[in-house]
Structure 1
């Protein structure tokens, strides 16, 4: 089951991290999509296992991809960086399948 559209009240823009090139970090083209943004400070784990402070999290449908280190722009205009992307897929169960993206 998809995350219900009524929950997706905000627009988020992501520039996906592609890796490091000769002139530094490389990013893909910006994509804007609907999400639910929660600006709340909490401790999370990075993909490397380190404890870091997340200042915001957003939830979007499973077709959204936000690799760690991607750049994000929130509805408030604040620019931030992706810590981790967590996929929540019920595998056919009637759950709201979504991606959770933790931000610096």
Structure 2
């Protein structure tokens, strides 16, 4: 698998990892990512379909569990809705993003 060069991850986002029912961990600022702000339909882990307001790809070792609070480059905040981790070498399913983590976000609000 190939890894997207960091120079192509031109956006910087802020992530507050979701830890429990209402707790967020310490924020991680200036995380390199490539943000696609266009809306798209995604299926949540429970099977419900939602319109994600943005999708981003980042390094595969990024700590971003479902429910994490994300601040996008334009200042909007969102919640991590779906995660598409990189495929393992044993997986037969190809990954469009190589070894990168793909996250879709939902429920944005203006800051």
Point out 4+ residue stretches in structure 1 off by more than 6 angstroms. Answer: none
CA distance in 1, matches of 2:63, 2:45: 15
- Aligned positions of 1:1-104 closer than 5 A: 1-20=2-21, 25-32=22-29, 33-89=31-87, 91=89, 96-104=98-106
Using the size of structure 2 for normalisation, the TM-score is 0.81
Name whichever structure is richer in strand by fraction: 1
Deviations 1:53-89 (A, max 9, x none): 1010000010112111110001111111110111123
Using the size of structure 1 for normalisation, the TM-score is 0.86
Q: Which runs of 5+ in 2 are unaligned?
A: 91-96, 107-111
Q: Which runs of 5+ in 1 are unaligned?
A: none
The count of residues paired between Structure 1 and Structure 2 equals 98
Q: RMSD of the TM alignment (CA)?
A: 1.6
